[in-house]
Structure 1
């Protein structure tokens, strides 16, 4: 039997939480261990129930999901966070990933795909809905276009500094760690990296763990962002 993934639901709409609980209960390897109506309650519930994954909404009355995610991912050994929201603004997608979320899925996603996203994020694989990917690409493309205009020298300088910092971070890695980081930036899974770099999956996982520690990152999505900012993806 597969290991059970313990899930904390965080959404201010009780009907949404009820629907999610009912939907996830259909997957025998997923257990909803608690619910929260606000991001401000997440830390206490994580202490009490030790979930493997938090399914997080964005808009909530006291503390939004982005702030709650950032606070949660600063903890030692935090659970993974999968954002589940109706908002597709590129700013939300970027902020969620920077806060440490490992996935971003929209609420109108079919139930089977939401369940699959929970499984994948719990297994350490990032998940972005097609709409979120489009918004992320638009944001990065827009930033590049904005940076090269003569009227935005300051933005261009900021982008250059951002790229230089990303290159510096990758320079902290050993040769094999750098190869793994570049593969993560290409969106490859651990199994695909194992095949392409001729190393075992446990070795790949160990390299990913070392990269996260060396670069002070939360998850492989943030590794991919560093690679992208360095201009290597």
Structure 2
């Protein structure tokens, strides 16, 4: 059973998502939220495996819901399903903690595939979105790095981003970071390393603190620029 928390204000798309849910017996919606206020309440009171969230809400931005969900239930996946494909919204949503990004024009099969990919530990991104992400990474890299003559990994770790230049991760933290970078969830990392989920979350928090980031995506991005992975 995959428990879904849906944040969507448009009746048309509510019905479309409901049709997708009806076609998948393992999907179960624990809460329908038509605005940000309802979403923030449900995030704190409901248990769910995956949140489907639109960015354009009548009383705020879905990005606020993403941040709240990442803090309250860090193990849950977050799928953005929206009409917004501009670079600003894409990057902001991913940096806030979204683990997948789907345009609403996608087919029901693509929606189901995205949900299944998320539950398998992957990060599905609509192909039309990928160029925006690459553009943001390239723009950030050009602003913080000298023009490289070779591979970016050949640059010394001291040249990098706004995060810590020498995070001094412990061997165990490095193991967790490397597994997360490969797409494993923290629950899967805990199982793989024979640790409790609580211990693994503590390692993840330490990694975020040392890298001066707040989400899994940012951690992987910073670590790659620092040459840690």
Are the aligned partners of 1:166 and 1:229 in contact in 2 as well (CA < 8 Å)? no
Cα distance between partner residues in 2 of 1:176 and 1:47? 31
Cα distance between partner residues in 1 of 2:8 and 2:184? 30
How many residues matched?
Answer: 212
Which structure shows the higher helix fraction?
Answer: 1
Could you list the per-position Cα deviations for residues 1-40 of structure 1 after superposition, in whole angstroms to 9, with x for gaps in the alignment?
A: xxx1111111121110111111122112111222111122
* Aligned partner of 1:212 among 204, 210, 215: 204
1:161-176 matches, cutoff 5 A: 163=161, 165-169=163-167, 171=168, 173-176=169-172
1:42-121 matches, cutoff 5 A: 42-75=39-72, 79-121=76-118
**Which residue does 1:154 correspond to in 2?**
none
* Aligned partner of 1:201 among 192, 204, 209: 192
Question: Normalising to structure 2: TM-score of the pair?
Answer: 0.75
Q: Secondary structure at the match of 2:72?
A: coil
Cα distance between partner residues in 1 of 2:165 and 2:11? 45
Q: In the TM superposition, what is the alpha-carbon distance from 1:46 to its structure 2 partner? A: 3.2
**RMSD (CA atoms):** 3.3
Call closer, same or farther: CA 1:141–1:223 in 2, change over 3 Å.
Answer: same
Cα distance between partner residues in 2 of 1:225 and 1:82? 19
Call closer, same or farther: CA 1:33–1:70 in 2, change over 3 Å.
Answer: same
Cα distance between partner residues in 1 of 2:136 and 2:43? 32
Cα distance between partner residues in 2 of 1:114 and 1:74? 25
Q: Secondary structure at the match of 1:140?
A: helix
Unaligned runs of 5+ in 2: 147-157
Question: Normalising to structure 1: TM-score of the pair?
Answer: 0.74
